[in-house]
A = this chain, B = another copy of it.
Amino acid sequence: MKIDATITAQSIPQGALEGRTAVVIDVLRATSTITTALASGCHAVFPVLTIKEARETVELLAGGRGAGASAVRGGTAGRRGACGTHSPLLGGERLARRIEGFDLGNSPSEYTPEAVSGRVIIHTTTNGTRALRAAAGSTRVLAGCFLNAEAVAGAAAGFGEDVLLACAGTRGCFSADDTACAGLIAGLILELFPGRVVLSSTVEVALELYRSRRGRLIELLGEIRSGGYLKELGLYEDIEFCSRINHFQVVPILNDGAMLALERIAVPG
């Protein structure tokens, strides 16, 4: 099994993805937030690129109530009311802030069971969504972060195909949080299949980067551009949370345009 990595959404190869399992990584914060949302019992997260697309998707899913309820797949919102009666939630960010009129921003701390259990979320971010879209030509697309590193490593390796660790980066530039996370996930796959995994040179160096920074991941996340910006906005808690390793066992997988929890669906091997 070969493991390769790309360091920005823009460098994910067009074509050449068939036969590979892609793990999209955007630690701060798209894939951390999607993982948290699904761990909190959210049914599905639809990643979309633009605010316009987000609003249109909500209308599409909720406008015809029948269609909406179908898309929501009979939610289990519990105290929120009967199945399928909710509109999808709008979540996401621009410049790390909640978008006007949206229900949720892009902070994992907002995606509590109380807020999202049984709900469908239309989610728009910049780098993370772009990477998820760019990786869509792969046999399957998973979402990884520190929070679900072990779970996503096991799932990715379990499919038995080559793995592409597709780091989102930040606006076309390398971002060390994503690459260090790719290194961690690669290291975990190595532990699962010793002697049967070949790492690309980028992944070898990413693994060393992770080893050099483990134990000081909060510091690493605070140093990078997007982390520094979050600190300026008073979102230090997000940095702390997104640096937790193996906090969740949820593996988001892209299925017909939605990120679903792998363990809750049947996926063709």
Residues of A within 8 A of B (CB): 5-7, 11, 174, 176, 179, 200-202, 204-206, 208-209, 212-213, 220
Contacts and interface: CB of A to CB of B under 8 A. Distances in A.
A193 to B, nearest CB: 17
Contacts of A176: 208, 212
A204 B200 CA distance: 14
Q: Which of A174, A201, A212 has the most CB of B within 10 A?
A: A201
A109 to B, nearest CB: 28
Q: How many copies does the complex hold?
A: 2
Contact of A212 (B174, B202, B209): B209
Contacts of A11: 201
- Chain A interface, DSSP helix/strand/loop, else mixed: helix
A11 B7 CA distance: 20
Contacts of A200: 202
Contacts of A204: 7, 174, 179
Given A202-B205, A205-B206, A212-B220, 19 more contacts: A7-B201, A7-B204, A7-B205, A11-B201, A174-B201, A174-B204, A174-B205, A176-B208, A176-B212, A179-B204, A179-B205, A200-B202, A201-B202, A202-B202, A205-B205, A205-B209, A208-B209, A209-B212, A212-B212
A205 B209 CA distance: 7
A214 to B, nearest CB: 11
A202 B209 CA distance: 11
Contacts of A174: 201, 204-205, 208
A212 B6 CA distance: 20
A63 to B, nearest CB: 43
Nearest to A200: B202
A188 to B, nearest CB: 17
A19 B205 CA distance: 26
A116 B11 CA distance: 48
A174 to B, nearest CB: 4
12 contacts: A6-B201, A7-B201, A174-B204, A179-B208, A200-B202, A201-B202, A202-B202, A202-B205, A205-B209, A209-B212, A212-B212, A212-B213
Give 3 nearest A-B pairs by CB, closest first. A205-B205, A174-B204, A7-B201
Contacts of A201: 5-7, 11, 174, 202
Contacts of A212: 176, 209, 212-213, 220
